[in-house]
């Protein structure tokens, strides 16, 4: 397939690709490559779904002409299911959310971006939807009764039935009917992006750009706003959500006369349908496709349901659906599925032999250089021993530098461990290196493993690279 990408790149830019790198597409079935040649950089997308490709390429052209920040399409080879896109970089809105959680950027910076996103959303929905041609829409040209039923059944079959929750299926279907009728009783003639969430919003030069809109169709304003504000893993605070909701309504009033109370009632109904659709996706992608980050999104979605049940009353009677949702918020099985232990990979190694390979695929973590500590290997009586032997341990622990070093190391590691557990991350690497990978690095790896193993939410994988050869 790289040959076909090269052919399209050459046809488009009249030059050969110098570097090509596969990039993470998260939950998408599409495959993306970043292609570079000199000052030219673009993404190559490969997708076997021809109808979805047509929708994306058509929508891209239409939205660009309306002044919406979507990637330019540089070239296409529909016969081989490839197209070349503008490279918008690597930073998504979700990445900025994580940076804010880690105190790497300020509240003001994240707020400013969200304000821009809200204003852009209204532009997409209203200006983008004016005289929009949905003839290539895929799979539907409107978020209609059938679309809603698909989402509700997605939730029922791929999440609810797998959860072990007992429910009256006919009563639930009756409530689904009431909910869908209510959702469609508002104005549904706007452009509905469909998956307007933080991973589909790129940040380039401090401005939001938008991707993955090929599922767009006609629909209500409230759906995309619900997707953004109740984006599970974004985990926005209640106060910030309310602030953004008010901003949206204020901005929208520049285009339409709206009744705020009625708008909000429909908004929260669309929040429900969006969360149910998302849970169906988490079930399918998590349980069946075994994609970890979908499983880790479940607790956030359940927390959102809990907040809705405690704070929002819809103007329709849906008792069986409410009963099901209440059970989900209390289900120990759901909590158990979503909760995975943190695996901490601890390794000792020799700097002479090079750094250990990260096989988790996550990158990052810590590498601590132990060579500033006095080396027991310089003394004959310790040369055949390792950092696991009591004689070496006694030698090292007499040194003041050893305990100070370990205090600093453990403080850093424990800070990350606590954050990783809080955010349901599943892998952390901590490597200790010394000259031969025999004494100091082994000692510190063993000592850290002993401390962390006391936490029942952690699994330790301990490896002494040089000793295990």
Q: What is the mean pLDDT of residues 183-194?
A: 97
Q: Are residues 282 and 362 in the same domain?
A: no
Both structure tokens of 306:
């809990």
Q: Are 71 and 209 in contact (CB under 8 A)?
A: yes
- Nearest CA to 182 out of 145, 210, 235, 147 is that of 145
Q: Is the model more confident about 159 or about 290?
A: 159
Q: Are residues 334 and 423 in the same domain?
A: no
Residue 420 — very low, low, confident or very high, per pLDDT cuts 50/70/90? Answer: confident
Residue 361, pLDDT score: 56
Q: Are residues 414 and 332 in the same domain?
A: no
**Which residues form the domain of 394?**
342-464
Q: Are residues 330 and 375 in the same domain?
A: no
Q: What is the mean pLDDT of residues 120-149?
A: 96
Q: CA 92 to CA 235: how far, in whole Å?
A: 15
Residue 292 — very low, low, confident or very high, per pLDDT cuts 50/70/90? Answer: low
Q: Is residue 300 part of a domain?
A: yes
Q: CA 212 to CA 33: how far, in whole Å?
A: 16
Domain edge (last residue) among 69, 86, 103 = 86
Q: Which of 96-110, 140-154, 209-223, 316-330 is least confident?
A: 96-110
Q: What is the pLDDT of residues 36-87, one digit of tens each?
A: 999 999 999 999 999 999 999 999 999 999 999 999 999 999 999 999 999 9
Q: What is the mean pLDDT of residues 413-440?
A: 90
**What is the DSSP-derived secondary structure letter of residue 444?**
H
Is residue 27 pLDDT above 70, yes or no? no
Pairing between β-strand 207-210 and β-strand 201-204 as defined by DSSP bridges: antiparallel
Residue 330, pLDDT score: 92
Both structure tokens of 12:
């488009």
Q: Are residues 109 and 75 in the same domain?
A: no
3-class state of residue 218 by DSSP: strand
Q: Is residue 198 part of a domain?
A: yes
Q: Are 217 and 137 in contact (CB under 8 A)?
A: yes
Q: What is the mean pLDDT of residues 2-19?
A: 94
Q: CA 63 to CA 55: how far, in whole Å?
A: 12
Q: Are residues 218 and 249 in the same domain?
A: yes
Residue 299 — very low, low, confident or very high, per pLDDT cuts 50/70/90? Answer: confident
Tally the residues of the chain.
Answer: 469
Q: Are 150 and 123 in contact (CB under 8 A)?
A: no
Is residue 453 pLDDT above 90, yes or no? no
Residue 423, pLDDT score: 77
Q: What is the pLDDT of residues 382-411, one digit of tens each?
A: 999 999 999 999 999 998 999 999 999 999
Q: Are residues 399 and 375 in the same domain?
A: yes
Q: Are residues 306 and 286 in the same domain?
A: yes
Residue 2, pLDDT score: 80
Q: What are phi and psi of 252, to 5 degrees?
A: -65, -30
Residue position matching structure tokens 């503008």: 86
Q: Are residues 171 and 276 in the same domain?
A: yes
Q: Is residue 469 part of a domain?
A: no
Q: What is the mean pLDDT of residues 215-223?
A: 98
Tally the domains of the chain: 3
Q: Which of 22-31, 275-284, 435-444 is least confident?
A: 22-31
Is residue 219 pLDDT above 90, yes or no? yes
Q: CA 115 to CA 75: how far, in whole Å?
A: 33
Is residue 25 pLDDT above 70, yes or no? no
Q: CA 406 to CA 449: how far, in whole Å?
A: 12
Q: What is the mean pLDDT of residues 155-179?
A: 95
Q: Which of 134-148, 187-201, 216-230, 337-351 is least confident?
A: 337-351
Residue 261, pLDDT score: 96
Domain edge (last residue) among 314, 338, 362 = 338
Q: Are 345 and 360 in contact (CB under 8 A)?
A: yes
Domain edge (last residue) among 38, 57, 86 = 86
Both structure tokens of 174:
């009756």
Find the CATH number of the domain harbouring 38: 3.30.200.20
Q: Are residues 116 and 77 in the same domain?
A: no
Find the CATH number of the domain harbouring 100: 3.90.1200.10
CB pairs under 8 A, 24+ apart, for 130-135? 130/66, 132/62, 132/191, 132/218, 133/58, 133/62, 134/217, 134/218
Residue 314 — very low, low, confident or very high, per pLDDT cuts 50/70/90? Answer: very high
Mean pLDDT of the chain: 92
CB pairs under 8 A, 24+ apart, for 57-65? 57/83, 58/133, 58/136, 59/136, 59/213, 59/214, 59/216, 62/128, 62/132, 62/133, 63/124, 63/128, 63/213
Query: Residue 21: beta bridge partners?
Result: 34
Of the chain, the percentage scoring pLDDT greater than 70 comes to 94
Residue 469 — very low, low, confident or very high, per pLDDT cuts 50/70/90? Answer: low
Residue 233, pLDDT score: 80
Q: Are 73 and 85 in contact (CB under 8 A)?
A: yes
Sign of CA dihedral 333, 334, 335, 336: positive
Q: Is residue 287 part of a domain?
A: yes
3-class state of residue 208 by DSSP: strand
**What is the DSSP-derived secondary structure letter of residue 92?**
B
Q: Which of 246-250, 283-287, 418-422 is least confident?
A: 283-287
Is residue 124 pLDDT above 60, yes or no? yes
Residue 99, pLDDT score: 85
Q: What pTM value is reported for the model?
A: 0.74
Residue 162, pLDDT score: 86
Q: Are residues 397 and 414 in the same domain?
A: yes
Q: Is residue 285 part of a domain?
A: yes
Q: Are residues 118 and 169 in the same domain?
A: yes
């Amino acid at each position: 397939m790289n040959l076909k990408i090269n052919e399209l790149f050459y046809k488009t830019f009249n030059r050969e690709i110098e570097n090509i790198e596969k990039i993470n597409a998260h939950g998408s079935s599409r495959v993306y490559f970043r292609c570079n040649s000199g000052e030219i950089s673009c993404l190559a997308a490969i997708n076997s779904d021809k109808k979805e490709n047509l929708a994306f390429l058509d929508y891209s052209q239409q939205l660009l002409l309306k002044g919406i920040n979507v990637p330019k399409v540089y070239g296409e080879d529909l016969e081989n299911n490839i197209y070349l896109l503008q490279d918008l970089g690597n930073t998504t809105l979700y990445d900025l959310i994580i940076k804010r959680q880690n105190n790497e950027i300020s509240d003001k910076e994240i707020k400013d971006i969200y304000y821009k996103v809200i204003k852009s959303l209204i532009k997409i929905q209203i200006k983008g939807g004016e005289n929009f041609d949905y003839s290539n829409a895929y799979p539907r040209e409107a978020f209609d009764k059938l679309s809603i039923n698909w989402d509700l059944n997605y939730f029922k079959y791929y999440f609810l039935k797998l959860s072990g929750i007992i429910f009256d299926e006919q009563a639930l279907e009756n409530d689904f009917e009431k909910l869908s009728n209510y959702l469609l009783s508002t104005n549904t003639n706007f452009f509905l992006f469909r998956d307007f969430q933080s991973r589909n919003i790129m940040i380039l030069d401090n401005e939001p750009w938008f991707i993955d809109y090929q599922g767009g169709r006609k629909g209500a304003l409230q759906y995309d706003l619900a997707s953004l504000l109740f984006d599970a893993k974004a985990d926005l605070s209640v106060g910030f959500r309310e602030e953004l909701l008010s901003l949206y309504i204020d901005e929208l009033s520049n285009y339409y006369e709206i009744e705020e109370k009625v708008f909000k009632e429909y908004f929260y109904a669309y929040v429900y349908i969006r969360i149910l659709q998302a849970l169906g996706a988490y079930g399918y992608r998590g349980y069946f496709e075994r994609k970890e980050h979908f499983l880790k999104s479940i607790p956030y979605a359940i927390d959102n349901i809990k907040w809705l049940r405690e704070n929002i009353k819809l103007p329709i009677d849906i008792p069986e659906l409410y009963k099901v949702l209440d059970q989900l918020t209390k289900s120990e099985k759901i909590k158990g599925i979503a909760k995975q232990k943190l695996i901490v990979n601890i390794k000792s190694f020799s700097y002479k032999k090079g750094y250990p390979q990260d096989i988790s695929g996550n990158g990052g973590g810590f590498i601590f250089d132990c060579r500033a500590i006095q080396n027991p290997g310089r003394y004959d009586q310790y040369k055949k021993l390792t950092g696991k032997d009591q004689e070496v341990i006694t030698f090292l622990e007499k040194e003041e530098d050893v305990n100070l070093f370990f205090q600093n190391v453990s403080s850093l590691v424990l800070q990350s461990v606590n954050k990783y557990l809080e955010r349901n991350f599943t892998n952390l690497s901590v490597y200790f290196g010394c000259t031969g990978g025999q004494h100091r690095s082994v000692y510190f790896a063993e000592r850290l493993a002993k401390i962390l193993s006391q936490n029942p939410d952690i699994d330790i994988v301990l490896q002494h690279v040089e000793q295990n050869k």
